[in-house]
Amino acid sequence: MRRFFQACGAVVSASVLLFGCESLWFGHTTPNPDSCEAPGFECPGDQVCNPATRKCEERPVELPDSAVATDDLGGPVFGGSDGGTGGTPLLCSGTLTPACTTTGMFCTQAVLADKPLKRVHATSETDIWAVSSSHLLHYDGKLWQKLSPCTSQGGFVDVFAVTQNDVWVIESRRVIRILNNNASEVPIALPTATTELRAIWGVSGRIWVVGSEGMIQQWDGSKWIAQSSGVTNHLNGVWGPDVQNMWAVGDGGTIVYSNGSVGWTLQSSSTTANLAAIQGRSSTAVWAVGATGTVLQLSGTKWDRVTISPSPNLLGVSVASDDSGWIVSQSGALFRRTAGSWVAHNTTDLLPRPNTDVWSFNSNSASMVGGNTKSVRSKWTGITGTWNDSLDELLPTLRSLGVFTFMTVIGMGQGADNNTYGLGIAPNGVIVRTQIGGAGWVGQAMWVDPAPSGSRLAWVVGKGGQAYGLSSGVWTASGTGVSEDLRAVCGVSSSAVWAAGNDATDTNARVAVFNGISWTALPTNILLGNPLYALACANGQAYAVGKNMQVLDCSGASCLANSLINAEPGQTAHAIWITPSTGSGSDIWVAGTAGKIYRYQTTPKTKQSFTSGTTQTLRHIFGKNNAEFYVTGDGGTVLKWNGTAFSVVKTDSTASVQAGTMLPNGNTAVIGGPAAGWLHQLQ
């Protein structure tokens, strides 16, 4: 007799879920006469009835964490993703610590390394759960966070939250329950070796799972009970408002209904299209959706076809108690329920991609998940009439951030297609994504004019010395006279903008200046031996830094070494920032290699070296004033200056943080950088 062992013991914090499971169940025992499903031949209390064989099997036994078992050949056996046929167990690593719970720390908003999300379930607007094939995510009203450092070998399929403290997740052949922050497998005996779980739903203390080959099982609070669906088609969705009204839908137009009994009744759907999902707002207001634009509405005991246009493959539906709702599709097309009808919704504010599931709270609030290659989350704001994306697929690599004075946040970075894009988020939440330059052009830096008096609102510079100015929502090329790559750009006004970079050997600097009409390259003979990496503009000029932390004063005609600031041989500056100071002078902050930070005051002339608390390379400085700003760098480094000293601010990222800005409210900093995504300060 082949034995399968699994002992589960894992703790889940508010922010991290760690699986570490092993289990035990046995093969067939001596069968009851005829069938264990037959009246009078039920299995004893320590056994369960296998609906496929109609034989009794021993109930799964929970073992302590230290339990070890072997198969018939003496090798270790795990109840893995295949539900007990010798699969690989969940792979886990890391420690059980909250990912992002400390006030003031910076938390990743974009789960860039994750796969597209499949399903979403919510108990409220501040308790939303979603799964990709590899991760479980949670939204608490502020942050989306991964709740597991584990990789699911079978692939997560669906999630259902009874409450915030009682969450059920299914893989293709496993059920996992997270109860009071403890994760454990709930062993389930599947009828065949090929049966797969496809959907989960619960109500009134009971849980239903449905799957391939017409499988339905119900958790009654202590055990799984197999139920007869009467069909062999794959079932893809299950929903019901109460125990007496449950529906499951599946391939070939299959719809089965249960009034609370063990058996289910087949209902006529008048379609052969594969149905993917079902949901409603009551037992008399239910919708099912599926392939080729199939939308069915319950009418008594029959289902009526609802015509929509266009007709893509529909993947999810959700209707709130106020009769508002959404249908999502493989093509990215959305359909909104309003005034009792389903109407195609304009999706120009969203990047085209599959939207796999949606949860509607009311006419002003909904959450949607999906993605082409990344785990995209989107939020509907009915007041503004827009969907707000999590931006994962919009800009996988951020290079620069800024804020317009009229409350528009703007970003620039590399898309998944390796093209450069400008990203605008208007006050009404509309996201505008516009390509900058031709295919493959790489933008390196952006400057947003805080008080534009000319037609251009922002500049982006980069590969090949090319510059692009933003005017009337269009990025227009403007030659700089420089052919080498430009790394930095800043300005003191719309008619005084500087861009800096290096030659191909990273030996000599290149600088160009814009006078409001055109760019002019400064003579190369004045820029020898001093490659430049960062710019800051103030006092009618640009301050450039790079090799040896030498600060250059750049005007419209030249760049000269600042006579008040000594170089630091052997060190390299990657960031510079100018803050207002008392009197007519300025504070010049320079940061770079080995965590070095220097402050130069021009009036009176002073120089100070500060302890940063890190040896990481520092790459960006931004903030409010000389009493409150941030320095960011490699290894997820964020430092905060409080007017007297620097302190290390906790982040949940180990990526290089190379961009940042203060939001218009002045209270929250947003950080971005290659591979770092968006980081948001937890308030």
Structural domains of the chain in order of their starting residue, each with its CATH number: 113-314 (2.130.10.10)
**Strand order in 466-471's β-sheet?**
443-448, 458-462, 466-471, 474-479
Residue type, 301: T
Query: How far is the C-alpha of 152 from the C-alpha of 175, rounded, in Å?
Result: 12
Specify the residue for token string 């031709």.
438
Q: What is the DSSP string of 239-282?
A: EEEETTEEEEEEGGG-EEEESSSSS-EEE--S--SPEEEEEEEE
Query: How far is the C-alpha of 399 from the C-alpha of 653, rounded, in Å?
Result: 16
φ, ψ dihedrals at 210, nearest 5°: -125, 160
Is 631:620 a contact under the CB 8 Å cutoff? yes
Q: Give the per-residue pLDDT at 54.
A: 43
Q: Which parts of the chain have pLDDT scores under 50?
A: 1-41, 45-46, 48, 50-54, 58-98, 407, 582-583
Specify the residue for token string 């036994």.
61
Query: How far is the C-alpha of 557 from the C-alpha of 128, rounded, in Å?
Result: 57
pTM as predicted: 0.76
Return the number of other C-beta atoms located less than 10 Å from residue 191's C-beta.
Answer: 17
**DSSP state letter for 674:** T
Pairing between β-strand 431-436 and β-strand 420-425 as defined by DSSP bridges: antiparallel
Is 207:174 a contact under the CB 8 Å cutoff? no
Residue type, 236: N
First to last CA, the chain: 57
Q: Give the per-residue pLDDT at 567.
A: 87
Identify the bridge partners of residue 171 per DSSP, sorted by sequence position: 156
Contacts of 68 (CB under 8 A, 6+ apart): 5, 76
**DSSP state letter for 101:** -
Q: Give the per-residue pLDDT at 429.
A: 58
Enter the tokens of residue 533: 């990496």
Is 209:186 a contact under the CB 8 Å cutoff? no
Return the SS3 of 212: helix
Instruction: State yes or no: cis peptide before 674, omega within 30 of 0.
Output: no
Is 630:589 a contact under the CB 8 Å cutoff? no
- 192-211 core/surface letters (b: 16 or more CB in 10 A; e: else): eeebbbbbbbbbeebbbbbb
Query: How far is the C-alpha of 96 from the C-alpha of 11, rounded, in Å?
Result: 7
